[in-house]
A and B are shown apart, each in its own frame.
Chain A
Amino acid sequence: MSVDSVGDAEIAKPSQPLEDLSIELRGIAKSFKGVPAVHSVDLSVRKGEFFALLGPSGCGKTTLLRMIAGFEFPDRGEIRLQGRDVANVPPNERPVNMVFQHYALFPHLTVSDNIAFGLRMRRLPKDEVARRVREGLEIVQLVGMEGRYPHQLSGGQQQRVALARAVVNRPEVLLLDEPMAALDEKLRKSMRAELKELQHRIGISFIYVTHDQGEALELADRIAVMEKGKVMQIGTPQEIYESPRSTFVADFVGVSNLLQGKVVEAEQLLGESNGARRRIAVDVEGVGRVAAFTDHALEPGAAVVLSLRPERIHLSASPVGELENRVASKVERAIFLGSDVHYRLKLASGRVLLAQSIYSPLRRVRREGERIFLQWRAEDASVLPE
């Protein structure tokens, strides 16, 4: 897509009122030595929004973040901040601040000098610097640590300093580059809750880069899923999880059974308010005939992938039930995880599906080798065109 066509599209459709946007990217593209890293990305972040850039390593999310920060300049496109294009403005002249993956705290400066760095560079009056540093320390609960050096702090404390150092500048957008990656699992969980709470309190827009889909689902108001330099889908965590628009998104966010098949029957549903909704029957290799709904104009013969979340699959001992789709299987493995039980289920064809159910002491955990029926409704699977 060219920059021009993006511009036209923006004018044509009623977009967000400008004052509600924190930052807007239009047609951002960047290559390194001829290798494209980011292809024509458009996205906008609202004021006070927690926005996640989610994707595997090498998908371009960090490059995108570095372009927003000003460490890299895009080859094409606009980065609009506070109504002006800053795509080629150096980082020290942008109203954004970053929390780095390994925090990048200045090892030769104390905690309070680290936090004061940006304020001093902007030549704020001394008492204002002192006030904001104190405020920053309070926000991240590090009062009493101001005289310490970074190497005297734990990983979690270092992260808090990095956060305080950025937010005391009151940026328009705070950029976070996998800030949890260097923390251990337990600390990561508690920091997530804290980060979300902090963002709520200070009301600054966050752009949060992560490869951890759990983190993105838990923290973000909206998520942009990226792959190979492209934004594959933007939506709320629920939209992304419930209605993935590609096999990549279905597979990357959460766990999914991806069922390749061919449409054998397609029936347009009439009288539906959302128009072109169809009910299709798909012949899935190794599973059989499966019913599903789709908004895509699919005709018999079309190749599709059905994405079926493990928790949508119901397990029952008897083949009778009101759910349209039903397959017989044998429990290959049952994994008890406390709140949930995960099953690996082997169909007669040898194909393995994953299912998941909430554990309850009233219901017994299925034994390995047990014969069982899998059932799901037609609307439980997302239909993804190949």
Chain B
Amino acid sequence: MKVPLKARLLLPAAAWMALFQLLPLALIVLVSVCMRGQYGGVQWRLAFGSYGRILDPLYVPVFSRSLAQALLATALCVLLSFPISYWMARLEKRAQGVAVLLVLIPFWTNILVRLYAWMFILGRTGLVNSAAAGLGLWRDPLEMLFSQKSVLLGLVYGHLPFMILPLYAALEKIDWGLVDAARDLYASPAQAFLKVVLPLSKPGLIAGSILVFTSIPCDFATPDLLGGAKNMMVGNLIQQQYLVVRDWPFGSALSLFLMAGIGVGVFAYLRQERAAA
């Protein structure tokens, strides 16, 4: 049998995807429509009860909190990334490589370790509070951990590179002669930015926003470590269903619901962007 080269080259990737992406996904779908086993696990009988439970008012705050945090964190990432990415894009070519490396270096350390570092920084007896006490700024330690804000901080911190890099890639491609052209055509520096740089950086903004926005609801380590129990997000809820409550069908249903929600959101966003362009 003669298999074309293109197909043969695609085979390993296709096999990988089938084995480690499609198969588990199919399993999740299957589990989500089964019944919960009495002592955890799954009872292989068709039941759609898990989907009904998603709409339980009990979980509404979890979903709305996740959405709000994701939106806020994405917006903050955009605001923080733009100056950094812009600065990187205007560096000399070799310095740009160093800058990209610096952005990537935190990834060499596990996210959990980095989150513990944040706990150490923000905690009651942490770096900030003890430094403030030492400088006489305030005496009673500030309660910074285990709040929405500390979770937001952690989310922005953890996801910033996912915004910086695509935005940098888009800015790096801009022909800076276009800014000269805009300035020559009576645009002030601010107008040149708004009319030329910003529209041309849009592909990077879109890619970065999608990366950040879609991965935040799935994050459970950050809300867990920096937020505590009362700042739970969808990711924590799913993790709980699997590891604590041992209600796999509900956990699976939640996962699929989240996937669908993100998928629809991204699709609608891209469609609207395309219509605007």
Contacts and interface: CB of A to CB of B under 8 A. Distances in A.
Interface of A: 69-71, 90-93, 96-98, 100, 102, 104-108, 117-118, 121-122, 165-166, 169
A71 B183 contact: yes
A20 to B, nearest CB: 25
Contacts of B187: 92, 117, 121
Contacts of B181: 98, 100, 104-106
Contacts of A93: 186
B185 A169 contact: yes
Given A104-B177, A106-B196, A121-B191, A165 B183 contact: no
B127 interface: no
Contacts, number: 60
Nearest to A101: B177
17 contacts: A69-B180, A69-B184, A70-B183, A91-B180, A91-B184, A92-B185, A97-B185, A104-B180, A106-B178, A106-B181, A106-B182, A107-B200, A108-B199, A108-B200, A121-B186, A121-B191, A166-B184
B175 interface: yes
Contacts of B177: 100, 102, 104
B21 interface: no
Nearest to A168: B185
Nearest 5 interchain pairs by C-beta: A118-B185, A104-B181, A121-B186, A104-B177, A91-B183
Contacts of A104: 175, 177-178, 180-181
A90 B187 CA distance: 10
B193 to A, nearest CB: 13
Contacts of B175: 102, 104
Given A102-B177, A108-B200, A97 B184 contact: yes
A122 B187 CA distance: 8
B188 interface: yes
Chain B interface main SS type: helix
Contacts of A98: 180-181, 184
A117 B196 CA distance: 11
Contacts of B182: 106, 117, 121
A118 B186 contact: yes
A381 to B, nearest CB: 44
A82 B181 CA distance: 22
B116 to A, nearest CB: 45
Contacts of B183: 70-71, 90-92
A84 B191 CA distance: 26
Nearest to B192: A92
B195 to A, nearest CB: 8
Interface in B142-199: 175, 177-178, 180-188, 191, 195-196, 199
B242 to A, nearest CB: 46
A122 B196 contact: no
Contacts of B196: 106
A105 B181 CA distance: 8
B276 to A, nearest CB: 11
Contacts of B180: 69, 71, 91, 98, 100, 104
A107 B197 CA distance: 11
Interface in B9-28: none
B197 to A, nearest CB: 11
B200 A92 contact: no
A172 to B, nearest CB: 13
Contacts of A100: 177, 180-181
Given A106-B196, A118-B185, 9 more contacts: A69-B184, A70-B183, A91-B183, A92-B187, A104-B180, A104-B181, A105-B181, A118-B184, A169-B186
A219 to B, nearest CB: 22
A373 to B, nearest CB: 55
Contacts of A107: 178, 200
Contacts of B191: 121
Nearest to B180: A71
Nearest to B175: A104
A174 to B, nearest CB: 11
Nearest to B177: A104
Contacts of B199: 108
A92 to B, nearest CB: 5
Nearest to B183: A91
